[in-house]
Structure 1
């Protein structure tokens, strides 16, 4: 969210007398990480009219949507599946109608919302997205102009917190399929979470059993798998694409062992993992060896492992304390989402979209289950 042009307020419905603005010094309405701390929408509602205001309604809505437009001859078949992730309404009644030019708002967000995204498969005319909108309606004392309404797109970004890197071991023996003979043993350490814009390092160890086998080239790559499904005819559109890759020459072999670290730069413009009703986005880290010394041309080695791509911050970037509730607005405090649970130790377990693990938040500590 650093590009100023990408953070201009996008209006769904405009009104000459009513508009939204960011708080000074910010280019987003979001505060917090959507999961590890209390998160809020913060900003200003600006009224340029002259009428007295009786009340203000705020509506916040999030939708997961999948759309497919199928054309055949003169026939157009439009499938549009939508699932409402959140719908919140807050009404502000003033005891006495007042003249308001700038209304500062701040209200809490549920803790398990996913990041906004928009994906498209142009070859199949398929679109998938998560979109959040914020709408405000003011009610005046005027008979001729009793209300004004404005609506904007309100993109959100989920951020995960990490203070150390967790690796998943991948080990085994690669065999010559035709001769049923072992060729080498392999051991990889795969990072479980890949952060947007970071460079990962994958330690590998190869122990050669057949010393005639040579590794000519090593490739490490990240593949993205997107699935968009539709209820009406149970259609599933699946797309696989290579997001990034790097070719490496093998290091020197010592005592029939190759030990090396494979580095890969993760693009910062990828969509993060998501598992929803109609849309799934997941990633696989792939390692491929080009081998020589084998007669069978299909004996090259290939291994892949599921990983999680996320927007990750370290401990020093953790900005909002869990105990800091002094600035809560009485505008609205959301209750836990239906997929959240409160246990006996006053710990709120938050399900993170697209992640198998849960994040536990207590009043005094942060831990990962």
Structure 2
């Protein structure tokens, strides 16, 4: 599958009409609508809604929506089969009513985001005509005093989001056992690895290993450590699925010196910054496996070369040092904080009756009401409801 991140600024704007008089724009100095670190602290959609028409504005409707989508187009000799499975992650609305129509050129908006939203992504299997993605869009409709044409003007834009986790310290899980000669069925060595449970995008991970040789005639010539990505896109209509396994990064390492029949070493691997984070959803799974491979000599059977892979979670991770003290209470939940919906978050009321200023106070926060389908973080699958179209 060809990975494509859905964060290209040039592709964000999707106008509903060609002759729209309304548009969205970022705040000065920003190239995103997201404010705050989603998953760590209070996060918002922040920007400007611009209107360049001559009519007075009576109200503005905002509609924020996030979906997980899996699409497959199969081309036959005379038919085209289109499967489009969609699961709604969130859907919220907010309406701003003015007591009296106003002449507004720029309306500043600031909406609180639930902390449990997954990061945006776009993946494509061009060979099989399959697409999987998470998309967030913000739609706005401006209602004016015009009686006929131009009474309503609408615009829609993509809002890529990036979710972040934080951890207290790196936690490891132990992987150990005995590797045998498959032909003679004799033990060759005992191994013990310390595999990190979570990998952060763009970080260098260290994997301590310990090898105790039982057969002293066996030598490790080369060590490879690699990260593999397994992507699966499923479709409910006919039960088909498309699965792809890709090596994201790898490093070849010379073995350390053997002392008292033991090899102790730390394997290092740098993870790419542009990887998708782990995701387990209704139709799309993105999983990672950390792989360790030994090339051995001193044995007759080459099939006895050692290979082991274990699952790991890849995420946007921030160390605790970068988190404000107000968030430290979450450390008691687990070594890696997994955010939950802020059921008691303090939210200021929306502006049903704003003041005479044409620009909203940046310190005021609106609420997008009518919360839609809740969903846990991308690393767990707890979605319970879906909206499927064109199956």
**TM-score between both structures, scaled by the size of structure 2:** 0.82
By how many angstroms is 1:168 displaced?
Answer: 1.3
| Change in CA separation of 1:155 and 1:224 when aligned onto 2, cut-off 3 Å | same
Q: Is the 8 A contact 1:110 1:336 kept in 2?
A: no
The reply to whether residue 195 of structure 1 matches residue 200 of structure 2 is yes
Count of aligned pairs: 344
Q: Is the 8 A contact 1:110 1:334 kept in 2?
A: no
Return the match for 2:158 from 132, 153, 158.
153
Question: What's the CA shift string for 1:192-226, capped at 9, x where partnerless?
Answer: 11111111111111111110110010000000000
Take 1:106 and 1:138, find their aligned partners in 2: how far apart are those partners? Answer: 17
Question: Corresponding residue for 2:22?
Answer: 18
By how many angstroms is 1:111 displaced?
Answer: 1.7
Take 1:337 and 1:63, find their aligned partners in 2: how far apart are those partners? Answer: 11
Take 2:325 and 2:110, find their aligned partners in 1: how far apart are those partners? Answer: 15
Question: What's the CA shift string for 1:66-106, capped at 9, x where partnerless?
Answer: 11111122322111111111111111111121111111111
Question: Corresponding residue for 1:214?
Answer: 219
By how many angstroms is 1:171 displaced?
Answer: 1.0
Return the match for 1:75 from 62, 75, 79.
79
Q: Is the 8 A contact 1:67 1:128 kept in 2?
A: yes
SS at match of 1:128: strand
Q: Is the 8 A contact 2:93 2:368 kept in 1?
A: no
Question: Corresponding residue for 1:331?
Answer: 366
Q: Is the 8 A contact 1:112 1:337 kept in 2?
A: no
Q: Is the 8 A contact 2:347 2:365 kept in 1?
A: no
Q: As a proportion of its length, which structure holds more strand?
A: 1
By how many angstroms is 1:23 displaced?
Answer: 1.6
Could you list the runs of 5+ residues in structure 2 that have no partner in the other structure? 328-344, 349-361, 383-391
User: RMSD between aligned alpha carbons?
Assistant: 2.4
Could you list the runs of 5+ residues in structure 1 that have no partner in the other structure? 341-350, 358-369
The reply to whether residue 45 of structure 1 matches residue 49 of structure 2 is yes
Q: Is the 8 A contact 1:9 1:152 kept in 2?
A: no
Question: Corresponding residue for 1:90?
Answer: 94
The reply to whether residue 124 of structure 1 matches residue 107 of structure 2 is no
Question: Corresponding residue for 1:343?
Answer: none
SS at match of 1:234: coil
Question: Corresponding residue for 2:209?
Answer: 204
Take 1:37 and 1:96, find their aligned partners in 2: how far apart are those partners? Answer: 36
The reply to whether residue 35 of structure 1 matches residue 39 of structure 2 is yes
By how many angstroms is 1:324 displaced?
Answer: 8.7
Q: Is the 8 A contact 1:135 1:149 kept in 2?
A: yes
Q: Is the 8 A contact 1:109 1:334 kept in 2?
A: no
**TM-score between both structures, scaled by the size of structure 1:** 0.87
SS at match of 1:298: helix
By how many angstroms is 1:328 displaced?
Answer: 7.0
Return the match for 2:64 from 60, 78, 86.
60
By how many angstroms is 1:6 displaced?
Answer: 3.3
Take 1:328 and 1:109, find their aligned partners in 2: how far apart are those partners? Answer: 16
Q: Is the 8 A contact 1:36 1:160 kept in 2?
A: yes
SS at match of 2:302: coil
